[in-house]
């Protein structure tokens, strides 16, 4: 019985040893390459309320992986989610420090393929960043256009209301001017009044009439001065409200200028600066075939012991 169990143990270990050796030798060589890039935030005007984050979730985006797979033609079935998506998610290492991003890719295919895949990954990431910024600028421009139109409508309303106030004020002043002129004409037509004013203040009554006329003339001068100001400056004569109109115009112009600047930024902005491009790997970094064989042998030894210990004993035939 001991001999049989020994053979069971040896056969089990031998099977696992051969199997793990074949598996290890059939594994493709793995190569690794790295690239160092700097992500440049677009210098958008402050009117654009944009918060862009290109963190690890962005780099591991399935959509980005699919675009990379299309570019390097990993599969001929574009409607499927290729294994490259999960493979890139597993094998792409990302490390960000002080605005610099180190990308490391390890793969079980050729040296050039690993390098080209990482280079394509960086190119597609730059395209996606630019696409994201373009979409953001378009949505923000639509929001700012609506805001600019609302401000313009409000400005027109303020101008109309202020113009109406100025016209009303001018009409009131003109009416007061005509009333004072008429009153002066009627008063000065009175011979008695002229005589009393000519008394040069000899009596209290003469002093009163003279002061009355002088006050009318001063009031008439003030009205004419205010009318001339309103006639020459228009709504600008009302400084408080006019400053509000100027502030609205400045805000509208600022929004329009910001929209133009955002389009200029989009045309000239390059999202990724490649500091160290992906290099051709000098040699394989895996797989660790010795470790695979050792693991297979260890499992074979353990399983062989269990099979040998718990295998049913063969009954020996009884002698007659």
Q: Tell whether 122 and 204 lie within a shared domain.
A: no
pLDDT band at 155 (very low <50, low <70, confident <90, very high): very high
Q: Tell whether 134 and 274 lie within a shared domain.
A: yes
> Is the model's pLDDT at 234 over the cut of 50?
yes
Q: Tell whether 153 and 204 lie within a shared domain.
A: yes
Q: Is residue 122 part of a domain?
A: yes
User: pTM for the whole thing?
Assistant: 0.69
Residue 182, domain extent:
145-266
Q: Which helix (H) or strand (E) holds 106?
A: strand 100-107
- Given a contact cutoff of 8 angstroms between Cβ atoms, the answer to whether 166 and 238 are in contact is yes
Looking at residue 83, its pLDDT comes to 64
Q: Tell whether 66 and 45 lie within a shared domain.
A: yes
> Is the model's pLDDT at 84 over the cut of 60?
yes
> Is the model's pLDDT at 228 over the cut of 80?
yes
The rounded distance, in Å, linking the Cα atoms of 75 and 77 is: 5
Q: What is the mean pLDDT of residues 191-199?
A: 53
Q: Tell whether 116 and 152 lie within a shared domain.
A: no
Q: Tell whether 136 and 149 lie within a shared domain.
A: no
Q: Tell whether 132 and 274 lie within a shared domain.
A: yes
Q: Tell whether 15 and 108 lie within a shared domain.
A: yes
> Is the model's pLDDT at 194 over the cut of 60?
no
Q: Is residue 249 part of a domain?
A: yes
* Average of per-residue pLDDT values in the chain: 82
Q: Is residue 239 part of a domain?
A: yes
Q: What is the mean pLDDT of residues 63-82?
A: 65
pLDDT band at 109 (very low <50, low <70, confident <90, very high): confident
The rounded distance, in Å, linking the Cα atoms of 72 and 93 is: 20
> What is the domain count for the chain?
2
> Is the model's pLDDT at 76 over the cut of 50?
no
Q: Is residue 318 part of a domain?
A: no
Looking at residue 77, its pLDDT comes to 47
Residue pLDDT, tens place only, 6-40: 777 788 888 888 888 887 777 778 888 999 999 99
Q: Is residue 319 part of a domain?
A: no
Q: Tell whether 125 and 190 lie within a shared domain.
A: no
Query: When comparing pLDDT for 91 and 149, which is higher?
Result: 149
Q: Is residue 312 part of a domain?
A: no
Looking at residue 122, its pLDDT comes to 92
Looking at residue 201, its pLDDT comes to 46
- Of the three residues 236, 266, 296, the one that is the final residue of a domain is 266
Looking at residue 302, its pLDDT comes to 86
Query: When comparing pLDDT for 59 and 85, which is higher?
Result: 59
Could you tell me the CATH number of the domain that includes residue 39?
3.30.1890
Strand order in the sheet with 100-107: 92-97, 100-107, 31-39, 272-276
Q: Tell whether 277 and 151 lie within a shared domain.
A: no
> Is the model's pLDDT at 319 over the cut of 50?
no
Query: When comparing pLDDT for 187 and 245, which is higher?
Result: 245
Q: Tell whether 48 and 111 lie within a shared domain.
A: yes
Q: Is residue 317 part of a domain?
A: no
User: In this structure, which long-range contacts are made by residues 312-317, counting pairs with CB atoms below 8 Å and at least 24 apart in sequence?
Assistant: 313/1, 314/1, 314/4
- H helices of the chain, in order, are 2-26, 56-59, 62-72, 83-91, 111-189, 191-198, 204-233, 239-268, 289-310
Kindly report which listed range (109-113, 138-142, 267-271) carries the lowest average pLDDT score.
109-113
Calculate what percentage of the chain has a pLDDT beyond 90: 32
């Amino acid at each position: 019985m001991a001999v049989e169990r020994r053979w069971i143990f040896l056969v089990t270990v031998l099977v696992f040893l051969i199997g793990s050796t074949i598996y290890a030798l059939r594994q493709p060589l793995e190569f690794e390459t790295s690239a160092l890039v700097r992500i440049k935030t677009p210098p958008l005007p402050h009117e654009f309320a944009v918060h862009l984050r290109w963190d690890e979730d962005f780099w591991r985006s399935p959509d980005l992986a699919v675009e990379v797979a299309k570019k390097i033609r990993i599969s001929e079935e574009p409607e499927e989610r290729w294994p490259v998506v999960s493979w890139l998610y597993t094998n792409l290492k990302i490390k960000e420090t002080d605005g610099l991003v180190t990308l490391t890719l390890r793969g079980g295919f050729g040296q050039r393929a690993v390098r080209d895949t990482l280079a394509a990954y960086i190119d597609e990431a730059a395209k996606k960043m630019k696409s994201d910024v373009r979409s953001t600028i378009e949505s923000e421009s639509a929001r700012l256009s609506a805001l600019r139109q609302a401000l313009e409508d409000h400005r027109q309303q303020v101008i109309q209301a202020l113009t109406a106030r100025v016209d009303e004020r001018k009409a009131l002043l003109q009416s007061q001017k005509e009333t004072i002129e008429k009153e002066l004409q009627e008063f000065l037509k009175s011979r008695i009044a002229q005589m009393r004013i000519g008394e040069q203040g000899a009596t209290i009554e003469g002093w009163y009439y003279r002061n009355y006329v002088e006050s009318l003339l001063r009031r008439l001068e003030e009205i004419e001065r205010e009318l001339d100001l309103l006639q020459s400056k228009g709504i600008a004569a009302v400084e408080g409200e006019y400053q509000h109109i100027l502030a609205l115009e400045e805000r509208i112009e600022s929004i329009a200028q910001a929209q133009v600047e955002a389009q200029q930024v989009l045309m000239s902005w390059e999202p990724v600066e490649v500091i160290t491009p992906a290099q051709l790997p000098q040699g394989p970094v895996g797989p660790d075939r010795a470790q695979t064989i050792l693991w297979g042998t260890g499992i074979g030894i353990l399983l062989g012991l269990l099979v040998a210990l718990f295998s049913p004993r063969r009954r020996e035939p009884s002698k007659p």
